[in-house]
Each structure stands twice: as C-alpha cells, then as structure tokens.
Amino acid sequence: MTLTLVIIVLLVMGVVFVNGWTDAPNAIATVISTRSMKPQSAVYMAAVFNFLGVLVMAFLSKEVAFTISKMVSFGSGQEALVALAAALVAIIVWAVAAWYFGIPTSESHALIAGLTGAAMATGGGFAAINGAEWVKVLYGLGISTIIGFSAGFIITKVTEYSCRGLNRRKADRFFGKAQVVTGAMMAFLHGAQDGLKFMGVLMLGVFLAEGKAIPASFDINPWILVISSAVMGIGTSVGGYRIIKAVGMDMVKLEKHQGFLADFAASLCLLGTTIAGIPVSTTHTKTTAVMGVGASKRLSIVNWGIVKDMVLAWVLTFPICGLIGYGMAFLFNWIF
C-alpha cells in the first residue's frame, strides 16, 4: 500500500467521522426532540443501525457506491490520487464550517461537489464528468427535497384524520414506542445511503492506486465496513447535538406522532431511492419531511428562518465545495 493510498484511506475515515458528526444526527434528531429516547441511547442505536445499514446494503446492492465511483474521472497516476485527497479535504472543511454554525448541510452533495471540482482540475475540465451518472445525482436532489416534503405532509394528513377518535394519552404512548422503530429505520437507511457513498470513494482510491479501471462489480472488505461504521458512530456521539437541536427542536416543535410520521415518511423515501440505486441526501430527505409534517397543520408552525439558513447552505454546497475541491487539487499537486 502506497503512502498516498494510506492518506486517502485516512481522509475517507475523516469524512466518515465528519458525516457522523454533522449528518447522521439528522436520523435521530426527532426521536430525541420528542423525548421518545434519551440522547445517549439514541446515539448508541444510531451507531448500531448505521453499521447494519452499510453492511446489509453492501451485500444486497452496491449501486449507490458504483454511481459515486463512476461519477467523475480523475485520470490516472499520482496526480489523480492527490486530486482525490484534495476533494476529501474540501468536504471536511465545508462540513466543519457548517457544523460550527449549527446548520445541517448535506455531506452527500459536499462529496459530489468536491469530487467533481477536483476531477475537473486534473481530468480535463467538464470532460471529467460522467453525464449519465450525474443525471442520477440531479434526480436525487429533486427527489430528496420534493418527495420528502410531500410524503411528510400527506402521511400526516392521512394519519391524523384516521386517528382523530383515539385517546390522546394512549396514542402518545403508541407513537412514542413506534418512533423508536422509525428512528432505527432512519439510522439504518442513513448507513445504507451515505455509508455506501463513502465506500464508493474508498474503492475509487484503491483502483486509482493500483492503476486499474473501475470494474463492473467489486467487493468491499467486511473489516472496512466495520471500521467505517464505528467511526461514523463515534462522530455522532462527539458532535451531533447541535444538528439534533436545529432539526428536531428549532425548525418545528414536534409532538410524538409528528416525530414518528417525519421519520416514517423520510424512511420510505430513502428506502425507495436506495433500492433504485439513486444517491440522495439523507439530510434533505429528513429535514424536508419534518417541514412537511409541520406544514400539514399550518405553515406558521415551521420556523422559516431556520429553513432559510438550511436552504442557503444547501444551495451554496455545490459551488463552494466544487471550488474548494478545484483549488485544493491544484495546490496539492503543486506541493506533492
């Protein structure tokens, strides 16, 4: 294993840690905010189900990993590996900046933008972009926002109408327990989506280091899956509470049934897109589902000031991470 590949592996683990730090908390934000679970218990649950999500989907379908690994072309040789390292640094820089301001940003889109910017710097500009795979990314952007909000809105309307005659105290007990299940589902699907994205980047680094083309199929070492999931869980436990507060408490004040429905709606969207092999943002899906649940009662319930900050961060992610990746690729190749 070359020194550059060792650095790539460490940087991928760094991005996985930052993902757990700034992205994975979205999965358990609502189950904590509604007091269905204690924060520490929810973090442990997220760590376990993130691991299971990566592990299970790595064996069932690697389509998301394939899409990420084939999205851009870095060329070949040492220059390509250095550019990939630059892209990973760009992702970490952006994620930490967003965390500092307590804004849930999408690590998925930071990953995509950083990779694209770095590849364009070394792979011949726009010729480095694989248009067919990028179309899947654009589909995912629309799906994770529009369907997330719509599913949260519609499912809440239908459920509240169907349960209008139930005893409120008994209903709260039921939804509180049910939300533990949907919280676990969210953590599992976060691992299935985001974990596989990072595994795709890691395998890209391995193939670049070996001077090989990306094959039609590849296997991911189970130990890599275990280590990555553990790193993601540690990241969640270290720094996730700012994001949990922003998504689960500041944006919309959720009751137990609303927390359950937000998790359920987001889980359905993530399950469908993961099976279809479409890379989507778990952050966008979860936060827009929460918005949809809140808006189903009345629009004023949603704190649109928080939403504006989130949307601004989402919009800026692509150009800023792309430019950082582009600039870092030139800088790293000049230094190394």
pLDDT tens-digit series, residues 79-114: 777 888 888 888 888 877 777 776 666 777 788 888
CA distances from 35 to 38, 45, 160, 262 (A): 6, 15, 20, 15
Q: Cα separation of 280 and 258, whole Å? A: 23
pLDDT, tens digit (0-9, with 9 covering 90-100), for 53-76: 877 777 766 666 666 666 777 766
**pTM for this prediction:** 0.80
List C-alpha distances in Å: 196 to 123, 241, 297.
24, 24, 36
What pLDDT score was predicted for residue 264?
92
Q: Which pLDDT score, from 0 to 100, does residue 104 have? A: 61
Q: Scan for tokens 């408490």, then name that residue.
A: 249
For residue 213, give the DSSP letter.
P
pLDDT, tens digit only, all 336 positions of the chain: 577 778 888 888 888 888 777 766 677 778 887 888 887 788 788 878 887 887 777 776 666 666 666 677 776 667 777 888 888 888 888 877 777 776 666 777 788 888 888 888 876 677 777 777 777 777 777 777 888 889 989 998 898 888 877 787 888 888 888 989 998 998 898 888 877 777 778 877 887 777 776 666 667 777 777 787 778 777 777 755 655 655 555 556 778 888 899 899 999 888 888 777 777 778 788 888 888 888 887 777 777 777 777 777 778 888 888 888 888 888 877 776
Residue pointed to by tokens 């689960």: 248
> What is 99-149 written as a DSSP string?
HHTT----HHHHHHHHHHHHHHHHTTGGGGB-HHHHHHHHHHHHIIIIIHH
Amino acid sitting at position 303: N
Residues 6+ positions from 180 with CB-CB distance below 8 Å: 31, 36, 37, 45
- Determine the Cα–Cα distance for residues 298 and 85; give it in Å rounded to an integer: 46
How far apart, in whole angstroms, are the C-alpha atoms of residue 164 and residue 137? 40
Mean pLDDT value across the chain: 78
What pLDDT, on the 0 to 100 scale, is given for residue 29? 78
Helix (H) or strand (E) holding 55: helix 39-60
**Residue 1: per-residue pLDDT:** 57
CA pair distance 44, 180, nearest whole angstrom: 12
What pLDDT score was predicted for residue 200?
78
Distance CA 91, CA 94 (A): 5
Residues in a beta bridge with 24 = none
Nearest to 87 by CA among 189, 11, 17: 11
Burial class of residue 297 in the structure, from the number of CB atoms within 10 Å of its CB (0-12 exposed, 13-18 middle, 19+ buried): middle
Amino acid found at 218: F
